[in-house]
């Protein structure tokens, strides 16, 4: 039935302007707090760590893949960074394929296929990849071929040779290495690896 004392007095029955102003102020405070939280850089040190993954700055990570890198755990950790990273720097230094057993070469290739599939999901704006070569040796470049399968093409690939550290050579689609890597992507990254019967058992 309402307050009988307010009956017939519309001004007293309505909430006051001060009440509305108070609600508006509370909503503004909450909105400002939400915006401030969204603008604050995410602390990536709270994410799972890996010896081969380094936080370089706000939304930026570096990854170094070498002969003894535990790729299994790296592939488990990496997806946790997907929502927070826009810049990636990757260095790859693995042995020349003919210096390792075929089984190791195939296993590393399969891990790298998964690696590229994961970073393809990142919303990166900068992706720099450097291949470190023991000699001027194309087979040691092959793991970079996965770049040709990424949905975005605004990545940069370079290589440097031992003894000439810091002398980075850019690889483009139309360079000798670029054309060869495009072929490697089609033959080794798109096709299933062929194991001998002995290795397949």
Model pLDDT for residues 112-125, shown as the tens digit of each residue: 999 999 999 999 99
Residue 18 lies in a domain: no
Residue 26 lies in a domain: no
Work out how many domains the chain is built from and give that number: 1
Put the strands of the sheet holding 169-171 in their side by side order. 53-57, 60-66, 87-93, 126-133, 155-161, 169-171
The β-bridge relationship of strands 60-66 and 53-57 is antiparallel
Q: Which whole-number Å values give the CA distances from 97 to 107, 110, 183, in the listed order?
A: 12, 14, 17
Residue 20 lies in a domain: no
Residue 200 lies in a domain: no
- Asked if the model's pLDDT at residue 183 lies above 50, the reply is yes
Interatomic CA distance for residues 55 and 48, integer angstroms: 11
Residue 36 lies in a domain: no
Residue 182 lies in a domain: yes
Residue 141 lies in a domain: yes
Residue 83 lies in a domain: yes
Structure tokens, 127: 């992706």
Average pLDDT, the chain: 86
What pLDDT is stored for residue 7 in this prediction?
53
Model pLDDT for residues 120-139, shown as the tens digit of each residue: 999 999 999 999 999 999 99
For 51, the domain range is 47-193
Model pLDDT for residues 77-121, shown as the tens digit of each residue: 999 999 999 999 999 999 999 899 999 999 999 999 999 999 999
Structure tokens, 51: 């010896």
């Amino acid at each position: 039935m309402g307050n009988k004392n307010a009956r017939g007095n519309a001004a007293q029955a309505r909430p006051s302007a001060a009440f509305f102003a108070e609600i508006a102020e509370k909503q503004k405070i909450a909105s400002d707090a939400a915006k401030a939280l969204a603008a604050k850089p995410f602390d990536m040190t709270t994410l799972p760590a890996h010896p081969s993954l380094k936080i370089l700055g706000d939304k930026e990570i570096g990854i170094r893949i070498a002969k003894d890198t535990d790729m299994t755990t790296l592939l488990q950790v990496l997806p946790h960074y997907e929502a927070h990273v826009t810049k990636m720097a990757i260095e790859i230094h693995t042995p020349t394929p003919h210096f390792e057993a075929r089984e190791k070469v195939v296993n590393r290739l399969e891990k790298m296929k998964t690696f590229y599939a994961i970073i393809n999901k990142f919303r990166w704006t900068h992706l720099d990849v450097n291949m470190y070569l023991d000699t001027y040796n194309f087979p040691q470049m092959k793991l970079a071929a996965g770049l040709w399968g990424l949905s975005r093409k605004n990545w940069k690939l370079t290589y440097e040779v031992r003894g000439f550290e810091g002398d980075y050579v850019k690889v483009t689609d139309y360079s000798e290495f670029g054309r060869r890597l495009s072929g490697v992507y089609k033959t080794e990254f798109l096709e299933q690896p062929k194991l001998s019967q002995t290795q397949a058992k």
